[in-house]
């Protein structure tokens, strides 16, 4: 699987763009498969599916009886070492159902969609949370590896599990096995230095105000 996530639109309050490309290898005759794609957020739209560049029709299923591991994560990592609530109440996220006929040999399945970036109220700046569910890959007959790239808004601090390498505003990772049930990410706009300076000065004035008050 090659997973590309573009979170730069979050800077403008828009959905992130997710593209998951699966390189399939069928060693037998063609197979008809009924598949489910698990989402990491409830609010997603504009999805498309192709098999070898041929569009496939799909629909959101009404069935919410999906394995617990397929649910969005309960938390995302905090920027200060803590965790932030994410998943509770989101367990009714409906997967995307579609059918494909996998030909013998190699083929390429691609799923693309726009997914909500959740806002978490916080100071000094509101943080954004995002998740992508990896758990369904544990049911595959064979897993050939996962390549992940995540594009971030310019200069935004980020915390992510599993750990990904940061190069500028790009996160990268390569895994030979499923590293976790989900990728969970927290980010926020950079805090202006003027804000931090004002905060430090304000805290420094508290003792002076107390002394003057006495």
What string of H, E and C letters represents the secondary structure of 8-62? HHHHHCCCEEEEEEEEEEECCCCEEEEEEECCCCCCEEEEEEEECCEEECEEECC
Mean per-residue pLDDT, 166-170: 97
Mean per-residue pLDDT, 60-80: 83
Q: CA-CA distance, 63 to 48, in Å (whole number)?
A: 20
Q: Is the pLDDT of residue 180 over 90?
A: yes
Percent of the chain with pLDDT over 90: 64
Q: What mean pLDDT value characterizes the chain?
A: 88
Question: What global pTM score does this model have?
Answer: 0.85
The model's pLDDT over 103-156, given as tens digits with 9 standing for 90+, comes to 999 999 999 999 999 998 777 778 999 999 999 998 888 888 999 999 999 999
Going by the DSSP 8-state scheme, the letter that residue 5 receives in this structure is E
Q: CA-CA distance, 176 to 7, in Å (whole number)?
A: 24
């Amino acid at each position: 699987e090659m997973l590309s996530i573009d979170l730069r639109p979050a800077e403008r309050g828009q959905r992130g763009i997710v593209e998951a490309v699966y390189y399939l290898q069928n060693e037998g005759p063609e197979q008809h498969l009924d598949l489910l794609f698990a989402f990491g957020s409830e609010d997603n739209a504009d999805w498309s599916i192709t098999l070898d560049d041929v569009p496939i029709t799909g629909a959101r299923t009404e069935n919410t009886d999906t394995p617990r591991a397929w649910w969005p994560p309960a938390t995302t990592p905090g920027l200060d070492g803590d965790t932030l609530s994410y998943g509770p109440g989101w367990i009714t996220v409906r997967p995307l159902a579609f059918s494909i006929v996998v030909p013998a040999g190699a083929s390429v399945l691609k799923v693309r969609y726009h997914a909500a970036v959740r806002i978490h109220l916080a100071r000094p700046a509101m943080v954004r949370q995002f998740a992508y569910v990896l758990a369904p890959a544990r049911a595959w007959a064979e897993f050939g590896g996962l390549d992940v790239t995540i594009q971030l808004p310019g200069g935004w601090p980020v915390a992510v599990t599993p750990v990904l390498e940061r190069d500028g505003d790009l996160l990268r990772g390569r895994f030979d096995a499923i590293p976790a049930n989900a990728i969970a990410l927290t980010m926020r706009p950079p805090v202006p230095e003027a804000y931090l300076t004002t905060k430090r000065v304000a805290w420094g004035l508290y003792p002076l105000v107390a002394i003057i008050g006495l």
